[in-house]
């Protein structure tokens, strides 16, 4: 379990990639190709060495750690435990709860992002003036420091009575609420926050896709006297389908990685109301210092993300292949 | 009803949507800026006071806090180093994937992309275990190394797409003229992808500057980064909104400036994945 190569020394890169099977195709290859291949391996070598060291080796260490009992508060109880951590996980009510929260959080926020992003893209597709301002406006939430965004929502926007959004809620007659402190409201509040952050992404992709749609079908539809709704339902929507599927796939995969903003806003609380699987694993590993069990939870998280990526990739491929 | 009225009426929902979009995404940010400039007594007045005498008091407090000042300079150093190393590693790799034939090219490219799928929380435990043995906890080298795991896959992929857009003829002409491949790359091809290099630089800087999870666990008092240090104003005993807002502006300011400078390219870089 000792990660021996976490720190690539200079010169290790090319050497590491020269060991790849097939890197030296023997005397069969033409001298020119051979030189090209060697140059290529020299150029990609450093990137492969870095990724091997900081991404593949750590994953193997993670898998290993999930089979051990590692509790920093009780260092004397260590040792190999096999799949005991995974067995414990299946009986862990909090694990199942965090899966449920992750599903609600991910699916709801991506659905909202798609609806709002599509609506904005359709409404703003023909606006000529102010595109520059609009681009800056929608760029902001995506690039701002996520953890600071979470803290700003927690304080300046959602604090009862003094937060801007709570003030709006009072003005609208909905009253003042402890948005992040009330277990019934907290999950909804962080979903709204995530939607605020990432609707612009959906908007930008769909706006670009809309701009690239062919004009002819619309001209034909106008001649045939199609209503705006018919044009949307039978032309725009089918034509946008590949872009919509792609954007949903990307958003779902990235939403599964969400951590910073929700950590800053609620830390998973109140209680476990907003505790997505990411946050639960983090809390187990670095608040309870139970690294072995935390490793098992993050391995489960990795498998979910991997599964989702493969499944979504298939869906995307199928949609793109269909006429 | 005249034709002109019809169009202007039709435009109404669009203009409204535009205003709503700008308000929804810009007002909260302006709100932070306004709070950072409000005198302490005006921050909690309701209804919110829109006219106030701006003060830099909160910035003075924020920058007078050792942790914040050190956090900002640590973040700047780490983000700059990450950006430079990322460029150094990913430009040659991107060129090779776009242009050269070599064994296992597709699987290696796929591997490069695939490494970024794993959620960062997954890497925390192995890095923590490894770094405590290698004495890399709370060091600049350690955190930069980890940030490469986030930025390199993305940067290699981005640079590859930019190199693919350069016409092959340019380079072949240079090769015919007797340039070596290396010389052709530096003199002929690289100037064609300056835009791509700029986007890669900006995005890898922003990613490292914004990063929080690794910074929160793998750095301590010495290499504390700005996004971790800002929590100091929001403890359970006291919430210092003024200095908090000022620090938020100091952290988000550089990102916003970079984004304004390269907005078109960043939009392309961020949404590229959806089109390839």
ipTM: 0.88
Interface test with A, best of B233, B274, B276 (most A CBs within 10 A): B274
Q: Which candidate from B88, B108, B121 shows the least CB-CB separation from A281?
A: B121
Shortest distance between the Cα of B211 and any Cα of chain A, in A, equals 8
Q: What is the mean pLDDT of residues A18-34?
A: 46
Scored b (16 or more CB within 10 A) or e, B59-82 reads bebbbebebbebbbebbbebbebb
Q: What residues of A are in contact with residue B58 (Cβ under 8 Å)?
A: none
Q: What residues of A are in contact with residue B231 (Cβ under 8 Å)?
A: 151
pLDDT score recorded for residue A287: 84
Q: Does the pLDDT at position B194 exceed 60? A: yes
Angle between helices A57-65 and A291-321 (to 10 degrees): 130
Of all residues in chain B, the one with the smallest CA distance to A49 is B89
Higher pLDDT: B173 or B73? It is B73
- Provide DSSP, A266-288: TTT-STTTT--HHHHHHHHHHTS
CA distances from A225 to A210, A220, A294, B78, B273 (A): 21, 9, 61, 60, 37
Q: Which candidate from A46, A146, A309 shows the least CB-CB separation from B89?
A: A46
Of all residues in chain A, the one with the smallest CA distance to B276 is A246
Q: For residues A152 and A146, give the distance between their C-alpha atoms in angstroms, rounded to a whole number.
A: 10
Whether residues B122 and A208 touch (CB distance < 8 A) is answered with no
Of all residues in chain B, the one with the smallest CA distance to A8 is B145
Q: What residues of A are in contact with residue B28 (Cβ under 8 Å)?
A: 152, 156-157, 164, 196
Q: Which candidate from B24, B115, B230 shows the least CB-CB separation from A51?
A: B115
State the burial class of residue B263 (Cβ atoms within 10 Å of its Cβ: 0-12, 13-18, 19+): middle
Whether residues A143 and B255 touch (CB distance < 8 A) is answered with yes
Q: Where in chain B is the domain with CATH 1.10.3720.10?
A: 57-274
Whether residues B96 and A39 touch (CB distance < 8 A) is answered with yes
Of all residues in chain B, the one with the smallest CA distance to A309 is B117
Q: Does the pLDDT at position A132 exceed 90? A: no
pLDDT score recorded for residue A128: 64
Q: For residues B135 and B138, give the distance between their C-alpha atoms in angstroms, rounded to a whole number.
A: 8
Angle between helices A277-286 and B120-134 (to 10 degrees): 20
Q: Does the pLDDT at position B94 exceed 80? A: yes
Which of A30-44, B135-149, B230-244 has the lowest average pLDDT?
A30-44
Whether omega before A270 lies within 30 degrees of 0, making that bond cis, reads yes
**Phi first, then psi: what are they for A176, rounded to 5°?**
-90, 135
Q: Does the pLDDT at position A24 exceed 70? A: no
Average pLDDT, chain A: 82
Q: Does the pLDDT at position B85 exceed 80? A: yes
Which of B53-57, B64-68, B147-151, B177-181 has the lowest average pLDDT?
B177-181
Q: What is the mean pLDDT of residues B203-213?
A: 92
Q: For residues A53 and B198, give the distance between their C-alpha atoms in angstroms, rounded to a whole number.
A: 26
Q: For residues A155 and B245, give the distance between their C-alpha atoms in angstroms, rounded to a whole number.
A: 10
Share of chain A above pLDDT 90, in %: 25
Shortest distance between the Cα of A273 and any Cα of chain B, in A, equals 20
Of all residues in chain B, the one with the smallest CA distance to A300 is B122
Q: For residues B143 and A28, give the distance between their C-alpha atoms in angstroms, rounded to a whole number.
A: 44
CB-based contacts of B64-70 (< 8 A; 24+ apart in sequence): B65/B229, B65/B232, B65/B243, B67/B224, B67/B229, B67/B232, B68/B226, B68/B229, B68/B230, B68/B232, B68/B247, B68/B250, B70/B224, B70/B229
Of all residues in chain A, the one with the smallest CA distance to B115 is A55
Q: What is the mean pLDDT of residues A86-110?
A: 92
Q: What residues of B are in contact with residue A72 (Cβ under 8 Å)?
A: none
Q: Which candidate from A41, A58, A154 shows the least CB-CB separation from B127?
A: A58
Q: Which CATH superfamily is domain B57-274 in?
A: MetI-like (1.10.3720.10)
| Whether the Cβ atoms of residue A105 and residue A186 lie closer than 8 Å to each other | no
pLDDT band with cut points at 50, 70 and 90 for residue A149: very high
Alpha-helical segments (H) within B100-224 = 105-114, 120-134, 140-164, 168-176, 181-184, 194-210, 213-218
Shortest distance between the Cα of B231 and any Cα of chain A, in A, equals 8
Q: Which candidate from A36, A140, A164 shows the least CB-CB separation from B26?
A: A140
Angle between helices A277-286 and A93-124 (to 10 degrees): 130
Shortest distance between the Cα of A184 and any Cα of chain B, in A, equals 22
Whether residues B126 and A57 touch (CB distance < 8 A) is answered with yes
Shortest distance between the Cα of B162 and any Cα of chain A, in A, equals 16
pLDDT band with cut points at 50, 70 and 90 for residue B93: very high
pLDDT score recorded for residue A253: 81
pLDDT score recorded for residue A25: 45
Q: What is the mean pLDDT of residues B108-113?
A: 86
pLDDT score recorded for residue B275: 52
Q: Does the pLDDT at position A323 exceed 60? A: no
The topology under which CATH files domain A87-321 is: MetI-like fold (1.10.3720)
Listed ranges A102-106, A319-323, B269-273; the one with the highest mean pLDDT:
A102-106
Q: What is the mean pLDDT of residues A197-214?
A: 88
Q: How many CB pairs under 8 A join A and B?
A: 284
Q: Does the pLDDT at position A206 exceed 80? A: yes
- In 3D, which of A252, A255, A244 has the Cα closest to residue A319? A244
Whether residues A140 and B259 touch (CB distance < 8 A) is answered with yes
Shortest distance between the Cα of B198 and any Cα of chain A, in A, equals 16
pLDDT digits (tens, 9 = 90+) for B35-82: 999 988 888 877 777 788 888 989 998 898 888 999 999 999 999 999
Of all residues in chain B, the one with the smallest CA distance to A294 is B125
Is the pTM higher than 0.90? The answer reads no
A83 beta partners: none
Whether residues A61 and B231 touch (CB distance < 8 A) is answered with no
* Domain parsing of chain A, residue ranges: 1-60, 87-321
Pairing of strands A79-80, A68-69: antiparallel
Q: What residues of A are in contact with residue B200 (Cβ under 8 Å)?
A: none
pLDDT band with cut points at 50, 70 and 90 for residue A8: very low
Shortest distance between the Cα of A48 and any Cα of chain B, in A, equals 7
Q: Does the pLDDT at position B91 exceed 90? A: yes
């Amino acid at each position: 379990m000792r990660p021996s190569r976490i720190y690539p020394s200079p010169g290790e890169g090319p050497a590491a990639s020269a060991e790849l099977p097939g890197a030296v195709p023997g005397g069969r290859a033409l001298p020119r190709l051979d030189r090209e291949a060697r140059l290529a391996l020299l150029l990609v070598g450093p990137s492969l060495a870095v990724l091997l060291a900081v991404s593949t080796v750590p994953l193997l260490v993670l898998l290993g750690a999930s089979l051990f009992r590692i509790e920093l508060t009780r260092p004397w109880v260590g040792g190999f435990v096999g799949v005991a951590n995974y067995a414990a996980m299946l009986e862990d009510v909090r694990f199942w709860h965090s899966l449920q929260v992750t599903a609600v959080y991910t699916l709801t926020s991506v659905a909202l992002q798609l609806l709002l992003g599509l609506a904005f893209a359709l409404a703003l597709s023909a606006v000529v003036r102010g595109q520059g301002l609009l681009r800056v406006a929608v760029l902001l939430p995506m690039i701002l420091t996520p953890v600071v965004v979470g803290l700003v929502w927690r304080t300046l926007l959602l604090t009862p009575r003094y937060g801007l959004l709570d003030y709006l809620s009072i003005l609208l007659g909905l009253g003042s609420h402890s948005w992040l402190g009330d277990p019934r409201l907290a999950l909804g509040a962080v979903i709204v926050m995530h939607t605020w952050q990432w609707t612009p992404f959906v908007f930008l992709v769909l706006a670009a896709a809309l701009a690239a749609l062919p004009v002819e079908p619309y001209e034909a539809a106008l001649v045939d006297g199609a209503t705006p709704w018919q044009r949307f339902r039978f032309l725009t929507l089918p034509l946008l389908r590949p872009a919509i599927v792609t954007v949903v796939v990307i958003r779902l995969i990235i939403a599964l990685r969400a951590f910073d903003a929700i950590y800053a806003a609620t830390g998973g609380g109140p209680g476990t109301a907003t505790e997505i699987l990411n946050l639960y694993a983090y809390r187990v590993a670095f608040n309870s210092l139970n690294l072995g069990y935390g490793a098992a939870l993050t391995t489960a998280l990795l498998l979910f993300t991997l599964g989702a990526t493969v499944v979504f990739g298939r869906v995307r491929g199928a949609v793109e292949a269909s006429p | 009803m005249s034709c002109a009225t019809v169009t202007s009426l039709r435009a109404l929902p669009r203009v409204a949507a535009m205003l709503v979009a700008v308000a929804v995404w810009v007002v909260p940010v302006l709100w932070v800026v306004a709070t950072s400039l409000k005198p302490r007594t005006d921050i909690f007045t309701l209804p919110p006071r829109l006219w106030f005498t701006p003060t830099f008091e909160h910035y003075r407090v924020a920058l007078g806090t050792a942790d914040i000042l050190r956090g900002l300079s640590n973040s700047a150093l780490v983000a700059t180093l990450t950006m430079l190393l990322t460029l150094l590693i990913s430009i040659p790799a991107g060129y090779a994937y776009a242009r050269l034939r070599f064994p296992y090219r597709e699987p290696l490219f796929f591997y490069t992309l695939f490494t970024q799928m794993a959620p960062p929380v997954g890497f925390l435990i192995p890095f923590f275990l490894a770094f405590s043995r290698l004495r890399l906890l709370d060091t600049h080298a350690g955190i930069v190394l980890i940030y490469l795991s986030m930025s390199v896959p993305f940067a290699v992929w981005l640079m590859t797409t930019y190199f693919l857009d350069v016409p092959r003829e340019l380079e072949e002409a240079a090769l015919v003229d007797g340039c070596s491949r290396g010389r052709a790359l530096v003199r002929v091809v690289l100037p064609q992808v300056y835009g791509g290099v700029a986007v890669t630089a900006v995005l890898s800087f922003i990613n490292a500057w914004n990063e929080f999870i690794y910074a929160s666990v793998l750095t301590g008092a010495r290499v504390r980064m700005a996004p971790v240090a800002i929590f100091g104003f929001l403890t359970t005993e006291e919430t210092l909104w003024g200095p908090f807002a000022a620090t938020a502006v100091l952290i988000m300011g550089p990102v916003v400036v970079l984004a304004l400078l390269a907005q078109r390219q960043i939009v392309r870089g961020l949404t590229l994945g959806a089109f390839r």
